[in-house]
Amino acid sequence: MPVVKVLTEGIGELDLTDIAVYRQRDGYRQWERAVRELKSSEVLDIAERSGLRGRGGAGFPTGKKWSFLPAGDKPRYLVCNCDEAEPGTFKDHMLLENVPHLVLEGILLGSYGIGSHHAFIYIRGEFKRGYEIFSRALEAARAAGFVGKNIFGTGYDLEVTIHRGAGAYICGEETALLNSLEGKRGEPRLKPPFPAIAGLYGMPTVVNNVETLAYLVPILRNGPEWFSAVGTERSKGYKIISISGHVRKPGNYEVALGTTVRELIEIAGGLREGRTLRAVQPGGGSSACIFEEHLDLPYDYENMSKAGSMLGSGAFVVFDDTTDFVKCAFNLVRFFAHESCGQCTPCREGGHWLETVLHRFVEGRGLASDLTMMRRVSSTVTGLNLCALGDSIEPFLKSVLQRFPEQFEARVLREVASA
Amino acid sequence: MSSAPATSDLVSLTIDGVPLQVRKGTLLVEATKMVKQEIPVYCYHTKLGPAGLCRVCLVEIEGMPKLQIGCNTPVAEGMVVRTQGDSVDKGRAMVLELLLVNHPLDCPICDKGGECDLQDFSMAYGRGTSDLADPKSSKPKAVDLGPTIVLDEERCVVCQRCVRFDDLIAGERQLVLKDRGHRNMIATATGDPYHHHFTGNVTELCPVGALTSKTYRFKSRPWDLKRTETSCTQCSVGCRMNVDVRQGKVLRTMSVEGDDAVSDWWLCDRGRYNVGYIDAPERIKQPLLRRDGAFVQIGWDDAFALWAKAIRSAIDAGAPERVAAFGGGRLTNEEAYLLARTMRTLGVKNLDWRTGRQRQATPGTSGGTLLDLERAGAIVTIGESSAELAPVMDLRVRKAVRHGARLIRVASQEAPPSMAFADVADVASAAAAIPANVTRIALLWDGVDSALARAAFSALEREGRTLLTYITGEQGNARGAEAMGMLPFAGTAYHVADSGRDFEAVCLDALAGKIETMAIFGANPVRQAADGARVRDALQAVPFLVVTELFMTETAQLASLVLPAAGAFEKSGSIVNLAGDVLPTAAALAPPEGVLSDFEIVVGLARALEIELPDTEEIERATIAAAAALPVGIAFGDERFVGTAKKASSGEGLQLHVLHHAFFGGGTMANDERIVALRPQPTAAFATADAERLGIRAGDRIDLVASAGKIGDLLAEIRDTLRPGNVALVGVHAGSAENGIAADARVRVKNIRHLDVPVEA
């Protein structure tokens, strides 16, 4: 089976929240090596050569993101994005709760890689347990001298600050996160300037996902080639896939990128007895569905994009033939409309409008004209928004409206439909 | 004028097929205007910059897969931009359709109807039909946001121009966006009423009818208004202003877009909303003569004859020094010129515009432009705050601070809560607080303490540094009055004249029975002088006192003859603002029947005196020349401007300071209920140490008592910016006759009433 144990190694068997256990398994060894033996630029170089791409959703090459920071004396910050809230994604808090030291070591390595002396981790407010576990881990690491002043006697200082979110999906968007971290209203910033130039407190900043940073540890341990040797041409290495929906064994599975969609379904125990596949949402609530014809596609950034969807954060939701796609579309649109910060017009108005209309469909009160409208609106507004949230509202709706029009048509009021 | 940009600063691009070159960094929304095309915007505003919220300014750029927003995309070399075409039209129509999804179509009763960007852009770029089958969301329609503004939440398109104005321009940060998604709405952060000196600007910034002025709601359609562009004369800034009149009534005033030099496109609430006095029933509309202790109405001819007779009797007796004429700060240049000239023709030299606390209006040749002010690296203020005296000028101060200038306040003054500032005790400390790399310093002075002004000037003057001075007077045309010759020691265009006596000296003369007749033009010294009670006594000792006024002010009540004068919107002419800009004023409406302008009043007097008057052309030539004359030979804090009366106050008790407040002033504000509603509660501010020593807590009610008089029921406030030994009054006319306390008296605190401690629920 193509399931691997890299970040997930030891989870469920060992108490890796205990710093002693983590250290027995070479924990903080890469951190010590980096600080003692490597230059910042060498860590950046390793990250770049590994082909690691952002595991939070956008899939941007990590080393390249770091390299955008301008040279200079300004303080620079690394922010670990642990505001995981994409519908269908449940990997980051799993890492936070089970391997907090691995996450922290990743944060330390990332900070060192960009030459930062202050890192932040923004933890989703609902992750109370993860927050408590990580806080204890941070204190233990601080007590061991891995965080703070003069680390390993090298003169390198690095502080880590934990910040808890207050319950807004939008704060997972990196600039909204920075605003929230600064104590401002959690809403995305107008770009440019990008965080690399003017991020947290106006300083050069890198925002990386939990999983992305955690992978730095095995990449440093095993070398960048170990990571880039697996995967497909432009999607290198491993990834934790949160598989859910109509499968027998939903859960987090760590695999090499490029594992096929069909294999992923099988890894999660396959479909329930007697059921047939209708669709897969391969990249979280923001992504469009893919269908049977895509089953043998390698699951990687490029192929998901070619199929009209995206890999996103690796939230893989399976839908079988019992699915009511009208309800699913309503549920997702309602979520995004609820989470919209309301700054920009298409997201604020479009999301709410579609939610209202879909609610009528759920109740069997759709109008034929609504179908025309939803097709028109869902194919126009994507790309008009200030941030990615607005562009996340319609892809699922658009794809299922196109694939399963009969499910929507069945909810159109008959007398109106025939009039 | 900025010099032509170097070629290397220029970028070549094509917009809608038209090639053009623009400065590097120019935003597409601005560049597009240069090719006479329009990119529709809601959230973008030239003075607020891009926000990227409304998404209506979409453009197509060759080589870019998605439509881009014109408001946050700078020009780039070789860029090919299309502001129309299938793709742009479709995207823009989509955004407009979405904006209308929840926007009520109550245009027939919306004040903005006819000048609404949502109407106009929907018309120009909209789809024309709607697929909306559900009810629009329902939100509160008439939210009382504060004393000036009403919010219609349904109409709001969430462009946040108002929020950004409050943050970026006013620095007050009262308005915020609350809640989230389609439920979000504009509100104050604290829930307190929206109230500061510049709130009215948000009604102009609002692209729809969400924010409206209480004074204009449901009053008119815009196309029924007759617009006159003039200059505001409420304070010495002279903001360009549009006055909108319908059926002989001023319904609203608006800022003038493009007025970069003076107002920077803004108005303060005093300038914007103080128009209610025009129609006030209390206005005087006929000359009034005091007869047996009561005023009786008389005709203009009789009024001029009586006045001329009083003047003639002194002049013919060879005693022009027994005649005096004051005022000018509220007159036009033409009026002040004609008054000074007429008086000097008679040999009258007791001329002075300075009937209040301000001693000087012309800063000399070191004065700068208002644009210069915002480029200063440090701003030192002495005396009272420009926020109260010259509010719109203070927005330039805030702009400079936002761009990194250091604001250094000598003595205690107000600054908006978000501003960084340094409070220093004296001018030497101010000089020391200026960063070494600052080469351009602005020095702001309220025109009161001349010695302090001189000291500040010499402390800040340095080789290789530009020191620009500003006198932030409260009167609209004080500088013009000085240029026109309403000074005892200087004639028209600052030419040295035989010295007459200034207002304070003439008051002493009056008390000594040496003044036969005095005229006061548009001034209320009983209220505005530092010691109003003493001025009242002096004026009462004048046998024939003439006052031109709109209202029966404290000063007018003492007159033998009160002449009804036209207000600022009822006459044309010119003024000189504090920066030396000569600005035209234009009559937006005619004065009420029976009311003459001060110009006509001086003409009437001159005719009655049989003095030959210059013709209109000569007046125009002379005023233009005088207004444009360089104030050579006048120093900042010039000793000649210093008053003769000594400053009082020594001894026991706290030193009283009456702080100026923008919404306090003469009759036009006292007789405008909408302005009265904006005034703060009468407040006494104490230094922390004094409050502790006296047992005063914030929120207590107290009385202040002086050797003469008492001011009762003041709200106590603690300010750590005040130095011990001082008490500052806000919203109280101390120094006026009504309470008998001189504005610079020593006072004691009496009768402290503690605020009841609220019971925890």
Condensed to tens digits (0 to 9), the pLDDT of residues A202-239 reads 999 999 999 999 999 999 999 999 999 999 999 999 99
Mind listing the pLDDT tens digit for each residue in B72-87?
999 999 999 999 999 9
In a 3-state reduction of DSSP, which class is residue B314? helix
Of B58, B131, B177, Cβ closest to residue A373:
B131
Query: Is the CB of B54 less than 8 angstroms away from the CB of A343?
Result: no
pLDDT at A417: 46
Residues of A in contact with B52 (CB under 8 A): 190, 344, 386
Nearest residue to B601 (alpha-carbon basis) of B563, B560, B639, B648: B563
Q: Say yes or no: A416 contacts chain B, CB-CB below 8 A.
A: no
Mind listing the pLDDT tens digit for each residue in A226-274?
999 999 999 999 999 999 999 999 999 999 999 999 999 999 999 999 9
Q: Sheet harboring B58-61: ordered strands across? A: B18-23, B10-15, B80-82, B58-61, B68-69
Question: Rounded mean pLDDT of A194-206?
Answer: 97
Of B50, B52, B131, Cβ closest to residue A369:
B131
Q: Give the burial string for B573-594 (b: 16+ CB within 10 Å, else e).
A: bbbbbbbbbbbebebbbebbee
On the CB side of B555, CA atoms within 13 Å amount to 28
Give the number of A-B residue pairs with CB atoms closer than 8 Å: 100
Interface mutation vs chain B, best among A173, A384, A386, most B CBs within 10 Å:
A384
**Mean pLDDT value across chain B:** 92
How close, in Å, is residue B10 to chain A by CA atoms?
Answer: 21
Query: Is the CB of B72 less than 8 angstroms away from the CB of A190?
Result: yes
- Give percent helix, percent strand, percent coil of chain A, each to the nearest 5: 45, 15, 40
Query: Is the CB of B95 less than 8 angstroms away from the CB of A352?
Result: no
Residues of B in contact with A360 (CB under 8 A): 134
Query: Is the CB of A384 less than 8 angstroms away from the CB of B58?
Result: yes
Nearest residue to B246 (alpha-carbon basis) of B230, B233, B231, B228: B228
List the structure tokens of B578.
């504090």
The Cα–Cα gap between B479 and B757 comes to 50
Of B67, B133, B182, Cβ closest to residue A348:
B182
Amino acid at A37: E
Listed in sequence order, the DSSP H helices in A163-320 are 174-181, 210-222, 224-228, 261-267, 301-306
Which residues of chain B approach chain A closer than 8 Å at the C-beta? Answer: 50-56, 58, 66-67, 72, 90-91, 94-95, 98-99, 101-102, 131-134, 137, 157-158, 160, 176-177, 179-184
Query: Is the CB of A372 less than 8 angstroms away from the CB of B56?
Result: no
R_g of chain B, CA atoms, integer Å: 28
Residue B378 in this model has a pLDDT that exceeds 70? yes
Interface mutation vs chain B, best among A173, A191, A348, A367, most B CBs within 10 Å:
A348
Residues of B in contact with A170 (CB under 8 A): 180
Of B53, B133, B181, Cβ closest to residue A340:
B181
Residues of A in contact with B184 (CB under 8 A): 341-342, 348
Of B50, B53, B58, Cβ closest to residue A343:
B53
Residue B205 in this model has a pLDDT that exceeds 70? yes
Q: What are phi and psi of A173, to 5 degrees?
A: -70, 130
Sign of the alpha-carbon dihedral angle for B182, B185, B189, B191? negative
Strand partners, B422: B408
pTM over the 0.95 mark: no
Query: Is the CB of B91 less than 8 angstroms away from the CB of A337?
Result: no
Residue B38 in this model has a pLDDT that exceeds 50? yes
Of A190, A341, A373, Cβ closest to residue B180:
A341
Query: Is the CB of B56 less than 8 angstroms away from the CB of A345?
Result: yes
Q: Which residues of A, range 356-375, sit inside 8 Å of B by Cβ?
A: 356-357, 360, 367, 369-370, 372-373
Amino acid at B180: R
Residue bearing the bigger pLDDT, B723 or B156: B156
Q: Give the burial string for A34-45 (b: 16+ CB within 10 Å, else e).
A: bbeebebeebbb
The Cα–Cα gap between B442 and B373 comes to 6
Interface mutation vs chain B, best among A349, A354, A412, A416, most B CBs within 10 Å:
A349
Residue B759 in this model has a pLDDT that exceeds 60? no
Of B50, B158, B183, Cβ closest to residue A190:
B50
pLDDT category at B674 given cuts 50, 70, 90 is confident
Residue B1 in this model has a pLDDT that exceeds 50? no
How close, in Å, is residue B54 to chain A by CA atoms?
Answer: 5
pLDDT category at B644 given cuts 50, 70, 90 is low
The Cα–Cα gap between A11 and A7 comes to 9
CA–centroid distance for A41 within its chain: 26
Of A190, A349, A383, Cβ closest to residue B66:
A383
Residue of A nearest to B179 (CA): A341
Residues of B in contact with A352 (CB under 8 A): 101-102, 137, 181-182
Distances (CA, A) of B701 to A38, B676, B726: 68, 21, 18
Of B99, B132, B180, Cβ closest to residue A345:
B99
Residues of A in contact with B90 (CB under 8 A): 380
Query: Is the CB of B181 less than 8 angstroms away from the CB of A337?
Result: yes
Query: Is the CB of A367 less than 8 angstroms away from the CB of B133?
Result: yes
On the CB side of B721, CA atoms within 13 Å amount to 14
Residues of B in contact with A383 (CB under 8 A): 66-67
User: Lowest mean pLDDT: which of A164-168, B393-397, B705-709?
Assistant: B705-709
The Cα–Cα gap between B386 and B392 comes to 9
Mind listing the pLDDT tens digit for each residue in B428-465?
889 999 999 999 999 999 998 899 899 999 999 988 89
Query: Is the CB of B95 less than 8 angstroms away from the CB of A192?
Result: no
pLDDT at B499: 86
Amino acid at B304: F
Q: Say yes or no: A116 contacts chain B, CB-CB below 8 A.
A: no
Q: Say yes or no: A175 contacts chain B, CB-CB below 8 A.
A: no
Interface mutation vs chain A, best among B43, B55, B89, B102, most A CBs within 10 Å:
B55
Residue A419 in this model has a pLDDT that exceeds 50? no
pLDDT at B728: 86
pLDDT category at B2 given cuts 50, 70, 90 is very low
Mind listing the pLDDT tens digit for each residue in B623-632?
999 999 998 8
Residue of A nearest to B69 (CA): A384
Residues of A in contact with B91 (CB under 8 A): 380, 384
Residues of A in contact with B95 (CB under 8 A): 345-346, 384
Residue of B nearest to A376 (CA): B94
How close, in Å, is residue A317 to chain B by CA atoms?
Answer: 26
Residue B708 in this model has a pLDDT that exceeds 70? yes
Residue A145 in this model has a pLDDT that exceeds 50? yes
User: Lowest mean pLDDT: which of A27-36, A374-383, B223-232, B602-611?
Assistant: A374-383
Question: Rounded mean pLDDT of B675-698?
Answer: 90
